[in-house]
Amino acid sequence: MDVTPSQLPHREFYNILISAVAPRPIAWVSSISASGQPNLAPFSFFNAVCAEPPLLAFAPGMRSPKKSPAAGEPAGEPKDTLRNIRETKEFVISVVTYELAEAMNLTSGEYDASINEFEVGKLAPAPSKVVRPARVAESPVSFECKLHQILDFNPSPEGGSLVIGEIVSIHVDDRHLKEGRIDRNSLDLIGRMGGMQYTRTTQRFEIVRPKVE
């Protein structure tokens, strides 16, 4: 098969994309609305993008509208996470371990904005040091972020935005520290594959980079 994205229906292209670009780390993003309503949702279009300045980025997609949009209105609706970050300019990204996979999945539902997903997932919100949104207390590593930039691509239900945040504080559970550094082997992280599939990152191997004279 050799095709261009424009030759494929959106669903077929999307299935190729998420099946081949994998495993993808999961950003468990906690945010808060301007009125103070907490929100927690996972996103697998996520990664670290820069060390100086320290930046993380994730890409929330758009929701299909509950009612048909009027002429001139966007075809999609922003998810609660994106709307909250536009309002407050703050968020927290917590990493997801195998132990937390079921709770993470529970928080992925398209709930009404009045629903607190910390309660849905039976998770403990822990106060952050710098920003207002709480972090997931059960997560071994959390990054408090201030909004750096939002890039909007496509307002349709097939589109989305890229949210870039600057890390302003990091929480690491002391149980995952070894000689002052994160013990990578103690982090039983999961990644998103295609469809309903996930993977654990416990099967690892090392490769030494070549030295070029």
CA gap 98, 203 in Å, rounded: 13
Domain ranges of the chain: 5-200
Q: Using a pLDDT cut of 70, give the percent of the chain over it.
A: 95
Amino acid 1: pLDDT: 83
Going by C-beta distance under 8 Å and a sequence separation of 6 or more, which residues neighbour residue 213? none
pLDDT single digits (tens) 196-206 = 999 999 999 99
pLDDT single digits (tens) 119-159 = 999 999 999 999 999 999 999 999 999 999 999 998 888 88
Per the confidence metrics, is the pTM higher than 0.95? no
> Of 67, 49, 74, whose CA–CA distance to 59 is shortest?
49
Using a 10 angstrom Cβ sphere, with 0-12 exposed, 13-18 middle and 19 or more buried, the burial of residue 187 is: middle
pLDDT single digits (tens) 51-79 = 999 999 999 988 776 666 555 566 678 99
CA gap 94, 170 in Å, rounded: 10
Going by C-beta distance under 8 Å and a sequence separation of 6 or more, which residues neighbour residue 29? 40, 41, 42, 43, 58, 81, 91, 92, 93
Looking at residue 176, what DSSP letter applies? G
Amino acid 155: pLDDT: 84
Q: Which CATH superfamily does the domain covering 5-200 fall into? A: Electron Transport, Fmn-binding Protein; Chain A (2.30.110.10)
Amino acid 73: pLDDT: 61
Q: Which helix (H) or strand (E) is 90 found in, with range?
A: strand 90-94
Average pLDDT, the chain: 93
